[in-house]
Amino acid sequence: MEYTIVGYPSDGPTLELDYREFAYAGKFVMSSTGKSVATEGDVVGAVAFNADRDSPGTGHLRYVTVREDRKGEGIGSRLLRFTADALEGDTYDTVTIAVNNPLAYRACYSAGFRYCGRETGIAELVMEYDPTGARKSSRYNDGLAVFQSRDLPPEQRRVLERTTVPDVVAVPDQ
Directed axis angle between helix 102-110 and helix 75-87, to 10°? 60
pTM (two decimals): 0.93
pLDDT tens per residue, range 1-22: 999 999 999 999 999 999 999 9
- pLDDT score for 11: 94
Average pLDDT over residues 136-153: 89
Predicted confidence band at 78 (pLDDT cuts at 50, 70, 90)? Answer: very high
Vertex 61 angle, CA 58 and 67, to 5°: 165
Q: Which domains does the chain have, with CATH numbers?
A: 2-159 (3.40.630.30)
- 165 DSSP 8-state letter: P
- pLDDT score for 174: 64
